[in-house]
Copies of this chain bind each other. A is one copy, B any other.
């Protein structure tokens, strides 16, 4: 994280980690993939506000960082692309859950906290 001469955010593990999840949709994409929403089209249906372009970008970025795998299933009739979390991705998801918990107890009012606890995919 640091030396006494000068800190540099780019070599800091916090910065590197935050970078992994600071795309506008990345935490949710990881969450959905882990819960079975693991194809391009399915992801789009669950996130109607994301464009194909951005979804592709975020998926490619997650793949580049080794958090998800991308598997093209040509066997299927209109060809499918299946995404899955890697071990890294699963591990990061656990961290994201901790971040979720912090945010839920520190940033939401009581009503919102209750809602959050009853949410489903």
Please tell me how many copies of the chain the complex holds: 2
| A49-B8, A102-B95 as given contacts; A22 in contact with B18, CB under 8 Å | yes
Q: Are B121 and A14 in contact (CB under 8 A)?
A: no
Smallest CB–CB gap between A4 and chain B, Å? Answer: 7
* Chain A count of residues within 8 A CB distance of the other chain: 47
Q: Are A28 and B2 in contact (CB under 8 A)?
A: yes
| A103 on the B face (CB < 8 A) | yes
Q: Are A7 and B98 in contact (CB under 8 A)?
A: no
Q: Are B27 and A15 in contact (CB under 8 A)?
A: yes
Interface 0/1 of A5-39, CB less than 8 Å to B: 11111001111111001101101100110000000
Q: Are A9 and B28 in contact (CB under 8 A)?
A: yes
